[in-house]
Structure 1
Amino acid sequence: MADKEGFMYFDCQGTKTDNAVRDIPVHQKLIDYGVIDWIKSGEKMLEGKDISQKYDRLSVKLGLPRENRKGEPLSFYSLRHSFATGLTNNNVSGLLIEDLMGHAHEGIKRVYIDQAGLIKLNDAVQKLSYDYD
């Protein structure tokens, strides 16, 4: 967790591939729900193979929604799908989605396009809206 250019973001290091090393801005809703305060309290959420169980405990503790609008249960991994779908539904470019998801640019894009800056990534993330309140 870090703060740069006035934005809170997750500094993803030590992931599966070089492409997965990236900064992911924190959505304001996570700050409002207290996720950042919880992480800063010293809890270790993003370590180990039991991340789904840790997510489940955190979501209960913070009162996060347990299912989506369709009534399907939410899990840690389902958030990745919801994130990508939400970005797409909010007209975020495929390139920004690739950067946020940690995917490599394909073909000629790999040669000519660098990862987007944190300001553009933050603008994309903040477009997501959740109507659970």
Structure 2
Amino acid sequence: MALKQYLIEFNHYIRFIDPKASLTVVSYNNDIQHYINYLEEQGMNDIESITYHDISGYITALNDTYEFASIQHKIVSIRQFHQFLVRSGKATHDPTQYMSLKRQGKRLPHVASDHALQTLFKMDIATGKDILDYAVLILLYRCGLRVSECVNLTFAQVYKQEKWLRIVGKGDKERMIPISDDALNALYRYIDTVRPHWVVQASEFIFIGKKGTQLTRQYVHNMIKLRCKELGIFEPISAHTLRHSFATGILEAGVDLRIIQELLGHSDIATTQIYTHVKNKTMKREYTKYLTGGFSNKGGNNDEEI
């Protein structure tokens, strides 16, 4: 059987037999397609002939063009693929059995500087596209949304009077998120003044472009890059950076970690705890700045005030 036929059967399995979220299905498919292309380029077409060393060669080839997190994701996809083949009787051995997924230390999420955020949200708003882009940006930042959660937001998920959003996240899990006044105002400015002029046919999705089609994740990614370039923001800013900045900001404001976990839609508290490292890193930087600032006491007047 051709390797691509195995991919078709794997796709059927994760869509209908053991259903995964739609984005997970797409992600697995892209990863395995890339993997199979590599195998075919190496002249490997027999699933039984694939060894641990073949997969290691593939992973090594990825190191030149992919970040560690992306490579790790591909390893997970490949492992799922080979485990399916063994379970379904299409292969007799799993060459990924001894592959390690251990991280070489956790990379701290990048948080936007205050200056970058202030510059971004002072963007000129003169056109319909400006109103749309601003609404997307402030929703990502104020609510800590993933890009997919933002572009897939529907009218039924917005509780305007109560100032809540019902978000459908990874694995179709739902969570409730409060929405700030400025984000709600920006959202309804777009809904009331721009969207009616762009509607071609009825759509449940809030965010549509000038042609009436639903906004895509790629649009958001490209828009943020262009806006930062226009505004002279040279530090790396992405949709995920805004989400990270939201999480770090509310942590520093004293919000409990469990609440942040719920707001972000993390299934494991360990994922949320990475933000405590960001907070500690900031604290250490500020403390180091204090230590190099001399010994003058500019805080209180005397010890009794402490």
Indicate how the Cα distance of structure 1 residues 57 and 83 shifts in structure 2: closer, same or farther if over 3 A, else same: same
Matched, 1:104 2:259: no
Report what 1:8 is aligned to: 163
Matched, 1:21 2:185: no
Does the residue aligned with 1:10 lie in a helix, a strand or coil? Answer: strand
Shift of 1:7: 2.6
Report what 1:35 is aligned to: 187
Q: How does 1:80-95 map to 2 (within 5 A)?
A: 80-95=243-258
Does the residue aligned with 1:17 lie in a helix, a strand or coil? Answer: helix
1:5-32 deviation line (CA, Å, top 9, x unaligned): x43222212x3235x4211111222134
Whose strand fraction is larger, Structure 1's or Structure 2's?
1
The one-letter code matched in structure 1 to 2:181 is Q
Contact 1:56 1:75 (C-alpha < 8 Å) held by counterparts: no
Shift of 1:55: 6.1
Which structure: larger Rg?
Answer: 2
TM-score normalised to structure 1 length:
0.51
Q: How does 1:24-63 map to 2 (within 5 A)?
A: 24-32=177-185, 34-39=186-191, 41=195, 42-44=206-208, 50-54=216-220, 57=223
The one-letter code matched in structure 2 to 1:43 is F
User: How far apart, CA to CA, are the structure 1 residues paired with 2:254 and 2:217?
Assistant: 30
1:68-93 deviation line (CA, Å, top 9, x unaligned): xxx52432111110111011110000
Shift of 1:53: 2.1
Indicate how the Cα distance of structure 1 residues 26 and 60 shifts in structure 2: closer, same or farther if over 3 A, else same: farther
Contact 1:51 1:76 (C-alpha < 8 Å) held by counterparts: no
For structure 1, the residue ranges without an aligned partner over 5 or more in a row are 108-133
1:29-88 deviation line (CA, Å, top 9, x unaligned): 2134x233325635338x67x325236548989xxx885xxx524321111101110111
Contact 1:52 1:76 (C-alpha < 8 Å) held by counterparts: no
User: How far apart, CA to CA, are the structure 2 residues paired with 1:84 and 1:26?
Assistant: 14
Matched, 1:75 2:227: no
For structure 2, the residue ranges without an aligned partner over 5 or more in a row are 1-156, 196-205, 271-306
User: How far apart, CA to CA, are the structure 1 residues paired with 2:166 and 2:221?
Assistant: 18
User: How far apart, CA to CA, are the structure 2 residues paired with 1:39 and 1:57?
Assistant: 19
The one-letter code matched in structure 2 to 1:25 is P
Indicate how the Cα distance of structure 1 residues 3 and 90 shifts in structure 2: closer, same or farther if over 3 A, else same: same
Query: When the two structures are aligned, how many residues end up with a matched partner?
Result: 95
TM-score normalised to structure 2 length:
0.25
Contact 1:66 1:74 (C-alpha < 8 Å) held by counterparts: no
Whose helix fraction is larger, Structure 1's or Structure 2's?
2
Over the residues paired in the alignment, what is the CA RMSD in angstroms? 3.6
Does the residue aligned with 2:267 lie in a helix, a strand or coil? Answer: coil
Does the residue aligned with 1:82 lie in a helix, a strand or coil? Answer: helix
Indicate how the Cα distance of structure 1 residues 82 and 51 shifts in structure 2: closer, same or farther if over 3 A, else same: same
Contact 1:9 1:25 (C-alpha < 8 Å) held by counterparts: yes
Q: Percent identity?
A: 24
